[in-house]
Chains A and B, each alone.
Chain A
Amino acid sequence: MSQTRTIKVDLLARVEGEGSFYVRFSGSHVSDVKLRIPEPPRLFEGILEGRGYEELPDIVARICGICPIAHQMSAIHAVEQAFGIAVHPSIRALRRLFYCGEWIESHALHIYLLHAPDYLGYADVIELARDHKPRVEAGLKLKKIGNDLMALLGGREIHPVSACVGGFYRVPLVAELRTMRAPLAEARELAVETARFVAGFDFPDFEQNYEFVALVHENEYAINEGRVVSSGGLDIAVEQYQDHFVERQVAHSHALHSAIRGRGSYLVGPLARFNLNFERLPASVRELARELGVTPPCRNPFRGIVVRALEIVFACEEALRLVDEYERPPAACAEVHPRAGIGQACTEAPRGLLYHRYELDESGTIRSARIIPPTAQCLKRMEEDLYFLVGKMASLPTPELTHRCEQAIRNYDPCISCATHFLQVTVERE
């Protein structure tokens, strides 16, 4: 009989927000996996009731400092659906551009500051910069260009102030937007370098049989709209989301876990988008992906860092295209006439599918709110990754195995502040 071992990390570093985990196993038999979230609940859905629709984008931004635009976009689209508002094509394009800025910034942050040190044997970016300073500086520059794009469109990069139901408070002049052309062209080069850099890392052999879920749009790499599609055959309109996905209370983790009804865990985020939408990436990005040996279906979560880099290349190219084709819309904002109803929307946050649902009254006051962020959707799958990883690599010494487990969680770029459904854990194990 093998000895029972435990892996316990009380404060998981280099993730956004605070989490910890615990795995107990004997030989290759894993008997318990727990991902704990000590992050205090912030009760956004409760706070939102009774607020006006015009306040919604400002309030939901505060769910997450890293992906405020994602929350603003899902919320705004949901309200527009409830009110029956169709926005001008130039507004739609500007929103996509705004979102590209957030993808660039968030992905670059994760790759350079949080994730790359794992693959190269460094504790953090400070050590990484000691040996690879030009590379880290290039990564920070890439990140900054994403931030600059958000600030140009939104006034500031964290909690931008420009987006509203119907469009924007102000839209940029063509000349203002053109100032981003040269930086974005540089960012594209930096992103390609980043993809080549991370593709050279060593990846453990760890293929998983995920059900991938992402938005799919008929003629673009989906960001702001599309159908909810899975690699397991699901293909539904956003309005059917709650018929097919459930949130469950799970005793061992005390967090609400999302699952596909009747099936179980699933994966959202860059890997899911890449695998389901590969053909809608620009030819140049597909070619680069093939050259780097990453093609769908990519089922190794440790290679997610390469996919994230490829998505930055895509976001830079897409942003350049949108800047070049921009025509200033006749009005910054469509006319808004509140009416009672229910609105739902999904958009692709940097970390994956982000669902918002609101019930509004005839004055546009919020009567109920539901927000399901990508990290909450992936929690169950994160625990399963730990389960299979420890089972497979149980012969490693505990410190190395612990590090692999931490890396496996960081593969998800978990955003714990975002996950408004997470409960305070009050039960401790022996």
Chain B
Amino acid sequence: MKSENGPKPRIAIFKLASCDGCQLTLLDAEEELLGVLEAVDIGWFPEATPRVLKPPYHIGLVEGSITTHHDAEYIHQVRRQCRILIAMGACATAGGIQALRNFQEMGATLRKVYPTPASISALKMSTPVSDHVPVDYELRGCPISKAQLLEVLSAILSGRQPNIPTGSVCMDCKRRGNTCVLVARGTPCIGPATQAGCGGICPAWGRGCYGCFGPMESANTAALRDRLAELGQSNAEITRTFRRFNAWTWPFREISEKAERGEAEK
């Protein structure tokens, strides 16, 4: 934390392959936005300003995954420019929805979208920032939680550890007072294996969690797979259930690959 009269901390916000939703989360903090913008100097945030301040930046927030040769180089430059680097959202922390290509044959995927795919410079895989450079903090979610973003920024600026819960979505559901859709209604839900942070939105809307905050610490995906099978999901459906916005994280990837191969757990 800088002294009262010292220079303000410089913040930079970078975008890789993404939908823009995570940096939009900052602009969606309407009540806090002007306060945040006054408390820091924005060094790099092209979506909001053409003004650029020279690095180094105190905090860098990265949205998006690495999907091109350019970005695989660029992320090293970003890392060098930032004292603290925060990967923001499912793309930056897990490769995002575009990591579904990692399970497909890339040429075929490209041909479905572009008439002359030869002119595209895209990597075969979509990978998280931490596969390329060390990351200091990760904010989960597709999109991230506004409260967690503000918490991590204010914690860093005041020199304390951020308080980001690492339990499962079940904790969010308990706090919100949701009826458990998995137990009470037999609705497939991967909340028991998914990290908290969203506030238990999907079960509150009567549907199962689809895992947008990614796997929780030591998630028991094997037991959950068995439960989904008991509820009538086929191996193909279980594969798809774990292959969404955080498909390339190891716990979700491992279980989806087992289900895809039709392998039993034991």
Contacts and interface: CB of A to CB of B under 8 A. Distances in A.
Contacts of A417: 18-20
A319 B71 CA distance: 42
B109 A46 contact: yes
B205 A155 contact: yes
Contact of B122 (A16, A47, A143, A424): A424
Interface in B21-72: 21-22, 24-25, 27-28, 30-31, 33-34, 37, 42, 46-51, 67-68, 70-71
Interface in B79-128: 96-98, 100-101, 104, 108-110, 112-116, 119-122
A46 B207 contact: no
A127 to B, nearest CB: 9
A421 B25 CA distance: 25
Interface string A167-206: 0111000000000000000000000000000000000000
Contacts of A317: none
Interface in A301-330: none
B30 A41 contact: no
Contacts of B210: 58
Nearest to B23: A65
Contacts of B28: 143, 147, 157-158
B122 A55 contact: no
Interface stretch (A134-142, A338-346, A381-389): A134-142
A357 interface: no
Nearest to B70: A38
Interface in A408-430: 417, 420-421, 423-424, 426
B30 A147 contact: yes
A44 B67 CA distance: 14
A71 to B, nearest CB: 10
A155 to B, nearest CB: 4
A293 interface: no
A51 interface: yes
A47 B19 contact: no
Q: How large is the interface on A (under 10, 10 to 19, 20 to 34, 35 or more residues)?
A: 35 or more
Contacts of A379: none
Nearest to B96: A62
The prevalent SS among residues of A at the interface is loop
A46 B108 contact: yes
Q: Among the interface residues B28, B34, B109, which one has the most CB atoms of the partner chain A within 10 A? A: B28
Nearest to B116: A249
Given A64-B19, A113-B48, A421 B113 contact: yes
B131 to A, nearest CB: 16
A45 B16 CA distance: 19
Given A13-B46, A147-B28, A123 B51 contact: yes
Contact of A161 (B19, B25, B202): B202
Interface string A2-40: 000000000111111110000000000000000000111
Contact of A59 (B16, B37, B244): B244
Contacts of B97: 42, 47, 59, 62
A365 B165 CA distance: 36
Nearest to B105: A46
A156 B24 CA distance: 13
Interface string A35-77: 0001111111111010110010011001111101000000000
Given A16-B47, A140-B30, 8 more contacts: A14-B46, A16-B20, A45-B112, A63-B19, A65-B22, A126-B37, A143-B30, A424-B121
